[in-house]
Structure 1
Amino acid sequence: MDQFSFYLRILISFVLFSSGVTHIINKQKFIYTVRSYKILPQLLIKPTTFLITCVELILGGFLAIGLLQKYTIILAIILFTCFTITILINVIRGNRNIDCGCGGILGDQQISWKIIIRNLLFVCALSFLSAVDISYSSVDSLILGNEETFDSYSFLVIFLAISTLFIFSTYTNLLKIKNKLLEFK
């Protein structure tokens, strides 16, 4: 169970951190996407995109190293829930011609029920993490004096998490290529 919860923690940390990095790189696109949701007043769009980017980077980093995990997981649940509600509102409105704005390894796709379900799976995974012992391979454990928290499985789990993300990213990019090729018909 330790390795599985560590795997989920690393997986979600990469999702959050890579999204934050993408939002920094494509700042204007992210601002446009948040504006497209038509939820916030114009005055709050730039501060909100800045806040989201910072929170994604911090939560992703803290999850990766296992720092303040219980608080980090609660904030990540809140973040994914806010994203899901925002997408749900626009799907119900029929405003589906919006990129999700996810960025990172998740890429940008048009909002849909699929994105809502994916986000709810992240919320479920984070809820699971909040209910189990997540001290395995964490800075929190080292601070509490448990030096045996890192073992050879830690590196295997990190490798598996990175491999999963690579496969998912490759699959997503192949779908984009397929769709581009279909446009030529």
Structure 2
Amino acid sequence: MPSDCRTRERHLKEIADYRIIPQKYIFIFYIFTVFSEIYISCSLLINFQKNISILLGILLLLIYSLAIMINIKRGNTEISCGCGGLMKGNNIHSLLIVRNSILILILLLISTMGSVDDGEVPFIIKLISFILGINNLLALSILNDSLSILKIYFKK
């Protein structure tokens, strides 16, 4: 979700531009993605139902990647990726699939993390903690943007 609090109509248009979901289901997919991103962000922040949120995050990233691959294959690359943030306004390209794959690997890595004893903390755990810190910042950003979209939606 972009930081400029895009309107519901803009987001719906971006989903429709992919020409994958039938028009009558676009709004349902929109609601699913907004609430899924809110759920994932909150559950990762408070470590609640971590495995469910990780699976849901992987599912969303796979759906997004599949939609990008289909449109690249069709030659329909002049559409917004719908990524928001720093990538807002960018058209789809194959590096988005690479980025999504890296995010999926990070989610899989997070899913395998267990608790650490009070002894010496290994470097890999420190590195993963750093990545999780960045993940939390991204989760807060997604949550903020998703809540902003909901505010816009319910004001109408």
Of Structure 1 and Structure 2, the greater helix share is in: 1
Corresponding residue for residue 178 of structure 1: none
Q: Which one of 25, 37, 51 corresponds to residue 44 of structure 1? A: 25
1:20-169 aligned within 5 A:
25-104=6-85, 106-133=87-114, 161=134
TM-score, normalization by structure 1: 0.60
Q: Distance in 1 between matches of 2:56 and 2:45?
A: 15
One-letter amino acid matched to 1:161: I
Q: Distance in 2 between matches of 1:120 and 1:102?
A: 15
One-letter amino acid matched to 1:88: M
Over the aligned positions, Cα root-mean-square deviation in angstroms equals: 2.8
Residue by residue over 1:32-66, the C-alpha shift from the partner in whole angstroms, topping out at 9 and shown as x without a partner, is 00000000111001111111111111111111221
Q: Distance in 2 between matches of 1:72 and 1:41?
A: 26
TM-score, normalization by structure 2: 0.70
Structure 2 unaligned runs (5+)? 119-125, 139-156
Instruction: For CA contacts below 8 A with separation 6 or more, give which structure has more relative contact order.
Output: 2
Q: Distance in 1 between matches of 2:64 and 2:4?
A: 15
Residue by residue over 1:125-148, the C-alpha shift from the partner in whole angstroms, topping out at 9 and shown as x without a partner, is 111112222x58xxxxxxxxxxx9
Q: Percent identity?
A: 26
Count the aligned residue pairs: 126
- Could you say what secondary structure the match of 2:20 adopts? coil
- Could you say what secondary structure the match of 2:15 adopts? helix
One-letter amino acid matched to 1:50: I
Q: Distance in 2 between matches of 1:28 and 1:117?
A: 28
Q: Distance in 2 between matches of 1:69 and 1:24?
A: 27
Residue by residue over 1:74-115, the C-alpha shift from the partner in whole angstroms, topping out at 9 and shown as x without a partner, is 111111111101111101111000101122455341100011
- Could you say what secondary structure the match of 1:43 adopts? helix
Corresponding residue for residue 150 of structure 2: none
Q: Which has the larger radius of gyration?
A: 1
1:160-179 aligned within 5 A:
161=134
